Structure 1
Amino acid sequence: MHSLVEEMGKELSVHSPTDPGEWEFLTDSKNVCDVLKDGTGTKKIIGVSLDIDEIDELRIHYEAFKRMRNLRFLNIYTKRWGVKEEFRCYLHEDFNYLPPQLRLLRWDGCPMRRMPSSFCPENLVKIQMQGSKLEKLWEGIHSLPRFKDMDLSRSTNLKEIPNLSMATALETLNLGHCSSLVELPSFIQYLQKLKTIDMSYCENLEILPTGVNLKSLEQLTLSGCSRLKSFPEISTNISALSLEETGIEEFPPNLRLENLVYLNTSRLESEKLWERVQPLTPLMAMISPSLMMRLFLTDIPTLVELPSSFQNLSKLETLIITDCINLETLPNGINFESLSSLSLSGCSRLTSFPDISTNISLLLLDETGIEEVPWWIENFSNLDIMSMKECKSLKHVSLNISKLKRLWKVDFSDCGALTEVSLNDSPCAVAMVTDNHHSKLSILDEDEDDYHASYMPSIDFKNCFNLNQEALVETLTVLAKLILPGEEVPSHFTHQASGNPSSLTIPLLPSFLSKRFFRVRVCVVVMSGSDYYGGHLNVKCQFKGRSGKKFEYYGDLRPYFNATEKGSNLFIFDCRFRLYEYVIDAPPQAELNYDHVDIELHATNLFHENGKTPSRLKRWGVRLLDDNSTAENGLGSPNTLLPHVCEADEDNMVIDECHETEQGHEECGDISVEAERCTKRMRTT
Structure 2
Amino acid sequence: MDKDHIAKILDGCDFYTIVGIQNLIDRCLVTIIDGWDKVQMHDLIRGMGREIVRLESKEPWKRSRVWHHKDSFKILTEKNGTKTIEGLVLDMHMCPTINSNEKVLETNAFSRMQELKLLHLSHVKLHGCYAKFCSGLRWLCWLEFPLDSIPVDFPLGSIIVLEMQYSGLRQVFKGTKYLLSLKILDLSHSHSLTETIDFSYCPNLEKLVLVDCTRLIYVHGSIGNLERLIYLNMKDCKKIRMLPKNICMLKSLETFIIYGCSNLKELSIEMLRNMDSLKVLETDGIPISELWLERSSSILGSLPCSLVELSLWGCNLSDDAFPMDFSNMSSLQRLNLGNNPICGLPNCIKGLARLDKLSFSMCTSLKSLLGLPRLNNLDIVDCISLEKITYQSFSLESATSFSRNNLVEWQYKYAIGSVDVENINLLGLCNLLESMAPILQKDDPIPVQGLYECGIISTFFAGNEVPGQFSHKRRGSSISFTVPLLDNHRTRGLIVFVIYVNAGYDSPIVHHTYISHIRVKNKSKGLWGAYFPSHYSIPGEGEDMIWLSHWNLYDQLEGGEEVVVSVIMKSGLLVKELGIRLVQ
The TM-score, its normalising length taken from structure 1, stands at: 0.52
Cα gap change, 1:363 to 1:193, in 2 (>3 Å): same
Cα gap change, 1:308 to 1:35, in 2 (>3 Å): same
| Helix, strand or coil at the partner of 2:19 | helix
1:154 is matched by which residue type in structure 2? Y
Give the equivalent residue in structure 1 for 2:400.
386
Task: Provide structure 2 residue ranges, at least 5 long, that are not aligned to the other structure.
Answer: 1-13, 22-49, 415-445, 458-508, 521-527, 546-563
Cα gap change, 1:227 to 1:484, in 2 (>3 Å): farther
Cα gap change, 1:119 to 1:112, in 2 (>3 Å): farther
> Which whole-Å CA distance do the structure 2 matches of 1:46 and 1:136 have between them?
27
> Which whole-Å CA distance do the structure 2 matches of 1:366 and 1:473 have between them?
29
Is residue 197 from structure 1 mapped to residue 236 from structure 2 by the alignment?
no
1:147 is matched by which residue type in structure 2? I
Give the equivalent residue in structure 2 for 1:338.
354
1:241 is matched by which residue type in structure 2? F
Q: 2:333 aligns with which of 301, 314, 317?
A: 317
Is residue 118 from structure 1 mapped to residue 131 from structure 2 by the alignment?
yes
Cα gap change, 1:25 to 1:217, in 2 (>3 Å): closer
> Which whole-Å CA distance do the structure 2 matches of 1:208 and 1:250 have between them?
14
Seq. identity, %: 15
Cα gap change, 1:521 to 1:474, in 2 (>3 Å): closer
Give the equivalent residue in structure 2 for 1:399.
412
Counterparts of residues 458-473 of structure 1 (less than 5 Å): 463-464=511-512, 473=518
What is the aligned length?
A: 422
Counterparts of residues 53-72 of structure 1 (less than 5 Å): 55-57=94-96, 59=98
> Which whole-Å CA distance do the structure 1 matches of 2:53 and 2:543 have between them?
67
Counterparts of residues 126-137 of structure 1 (less than 5 Å): 126-137=139-150
Is residue 210 from structure 1 mapped to residue 221 from structure 2 by the alignment?
yes
| Helix, strand or coil at the partner of 1:334 | helix
Q: 1:175 aligns with which of 187, 193, 210?
A: 187
Cα gap change, 1:398 to 1:335, in 2 (>3 Å): same
> Which whole-Å CA distance do the structure 2 matches of 1:390 and 1:177 have between them?
38
Deviations 1:629-657 (A, max 9, x none): 9xx646999xxxxxxxxxxxxxxxxxxxx
Is residue 279 from structure 1 mapped to residue 296 from structure 2 by the alignment?
yes
Task: Provide structure 1 residue ranges, at least 5 long, that are not aligned to the other structure.
Answer: 60-87, 402-415, 428-460, 493-517, 526-618, 624-628, 638-685
Q: 2:281 aligns with which of 263, 270, 279?
A: 263
Cα gap change, 1:50 to 1:373, in 2 (>3 Å): same
Cα gap change, 1:478 to 1:176, in 2 (>3 Å): farther
> Which whole-Å CA distance do the structure 2 matches of 1:620 and 1:134 have between them?
66
Deviations 1:570-604 (A, max 9, x none): xxxxxxxxxxxxxxxxxxxxxxxxxxxxxxxxxxx
Deviations 1:301-349 (A, max 9, x none): 3523311252322111111111212554511683322111111223333
Q: Which has the larger radius of gyration?
A: 2
Give the equivalent residue in structure 2 for 1:513.
none
**Contact 1:113 / 1:134 at 8 angstroms: preserved in 2?**
no
Deviates most, 255-264 or 49-58: 49-58
Q: 1:184 aligns with which of 189, 193, 196?
A: 196
**Contact 2:89 / 2:120 at 8 angstroms: preserved in 1?**
no
> Which whole-Å CA distance do the structure 1 matches of 2:450 and 2:128 have between them?
68
Deviations 1:326-383 (A, max 9, x none): 5545116833221111112233333222424123433435325322234x57x31155
Cα gap change, 1:22 to 1:109, in 2 (>3 Å): closer
| Helix, strand or coil at the partner of 1:6 | coil
1:131 is matched by which residue type in structure 2? E
Give the equivalent residue in structure 2 for 1:366.
382
Give the equivalent residue in structure 2 for 1:597.
none
Deviations 1:540-585 (A, max 9, x none): xxxxxxxxxxxxxxxxxxxxxxxxxxxxxxxxxxxxxxxxxxxxxx
Deviates most, 46-55 or 299-308: 46-55
Deviations 1:209-261 (A, max 9, x none): 11532110111000100001113543422111001110222222543212111
The TM-score, its normalising length taken from structure 2, stands at: 0.60
Q: 1:350 aligns with which of 339, 349, 366?
A: 366
Deviations 1:122-160 (A, max 9, x none): 42211111234343222158671x3211111122x2222
Cα gap change, 1:422 to 1:182, in 2 (>3 Å): same
Cα gap change, 1:425 to 1:620, in 2 (>3 Å): closer
| Helix, strand or coil at the partner of 1:11 | helix
